[in-house]
């Protein structure tokens, strides 16, 4: 099946999202590169276009229902009906529970959970119309519990429930939903965590690698490779799954 598809990747200005956007474009999809700041999406769009692909920079806060509706409508208008969605946008507000503020909690829930819900609700309309769709949600090994991440672990576990429910509700329309749960991936997010605990990033990565069975930390491309399969036409019988991509059973 070689029909061109339109994909939306959120949080795609950098890190894992940027790698996924570039990979889906290389797979032949037109890709909407969505992030808070539209200008920050432009380098990724230019890289995709330079490689012969099609892409669009879209600025939107995934936690804002009106912005999400406008962004999805614009993508449908300019790139075609979006049938592939990767809910990747994310933030950290780490703190031990006794120091975690209401805002630390709400911000993480808004971006990860509300953002993925709003995007999925807006995109499923196009998927149902097209009788085809792929949704990939970015969970995390933190869903299994992680010190200092009561908010993030809860959101990442919640995304697994959203994924399974989307799989059940949308399956009959040819839509699959799966979650990728990365372990330690080298991005600005993990660099910020190193900075927060006062560690040099190279030392931080080396220490993390020692606890990972394959002996290294992950790269954004490790996640993009699985996203490529889960967003592609051949994965139609894989749905409602959570796949840990962590160099071992868990990081």
Binding site for ligand NAP (CB under 6 A): 10-11, 13-17, 35-37, 61-63, 88-91, 111, 115, 138, 140, 182, 184-185, 187-190
Q: Where are the alpha helices (DSSP H) in the chain?
A: 15-26, 38-50, 65-78, 102-108, 115-130, 150-170, 188-196, 201-210, 220-231
Cβ burial, residue 201 (10 Å; 0-12/13-18/19+):
middle
Q: How far is the CB of 217 from ligand NAP (least distance, A)?
A: 8
* DSSP 8-state class, residue 212: S
Could you tell me the smallest distance in angstroms from the CB atom of residue 237 to ligand NAP? 25
* DSSP line for 8-56: EEETTTSHHHHHHHHHHHHTT-EEEEEES-HHHHHHHHHHHHHTT--EE
Report the DSSP beta bridge partners of residue 234. none
**What burial letters (b/e) apply to 41-63, b meaning 16+ CB within 10 Å?**
beebbebbeeeebbbbbbbbbbb
**How far is the C-alpha of 188 from the C-alpha of 14, rounded, in Å?**
8
Number of other CB atoms surrounding residue 140 within 10 Å: 27
Question: Nearest residue by C-beta to ligand NAP?
Answer: 15
In the DSSP assignment, the letter for residue 112 is: I
Q: Spot the catalytic one: 132, 152, 173, 244.
A: 152
**Cβ 97 to ligand NAP shortest distance, Å:** 19
152 is catalytic: yes
Q: Return d(Cα 22, Cα 37) in angstroms, integer.
A: 18
Please identify, using beta-carbon distances, which residue of 29 and 185 lies nearer to ligand NAP: 185
* Tokens describing residue 168: 């059940």
Give the other-Cβ count within 10 Å of 234's Cβ: 9
Report in angstroms how near the CB of residue 135 gets to ligand NAP at its nearest: 14
Q: Give the catalytic positions in this structure.
A: 152
């Amino acid at each position: 099946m070689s029909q061109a598809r339109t994909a939306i990747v959120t949080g795609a200005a950098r890190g894992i999202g940027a790698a996924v956007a570039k990979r889906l474009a290389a797979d032949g999809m037109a890709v909407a590169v969505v992030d808070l700041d539209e200008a920050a999406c432009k380098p990724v769009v230019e890289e995709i276009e330079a490689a012969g692909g099609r892409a669009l920079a879209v600025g939107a806060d995934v936690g804002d229902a009106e912005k999400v509706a406008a962004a999805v409508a614009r993508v449908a208008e300019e790139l075609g009906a979006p049938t592939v969605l990767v809910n990747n946008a994310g933030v950290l507000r780490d703190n031990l529970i006794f120091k975690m503020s209401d805002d630390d909690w709400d911000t993480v829930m808004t971006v990860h959970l509300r953002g993925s819900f709003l995007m999925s609700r807006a995109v499923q309309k196009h998927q149902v119309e097209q009788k085809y769709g792929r949704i990939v949600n970015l969970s995390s090994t933190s869903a299994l519990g992680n010190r200092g991440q009561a908010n993030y672990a809860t959101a990442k576990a919640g995304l697994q429930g959203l994924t399974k429910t989307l799989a059940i509700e949308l399956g009959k329309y040819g839509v699959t939903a799966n979650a990728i749960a990365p372990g330690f991936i080298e991005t600005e997010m993990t660099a910020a965590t190193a900075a927060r605990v006062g560690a040099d990033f190279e030392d931080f990565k080396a220490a993390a690698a020692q606890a990972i069975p394959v002996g290294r930390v992950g790269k954004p491309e490790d996640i993009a490779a699985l996203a490529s399969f889960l967003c592609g036409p051949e994965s139609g019988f894989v749905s409602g799954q959570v796949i840990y991509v962590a160099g071992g059973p868990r990081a």
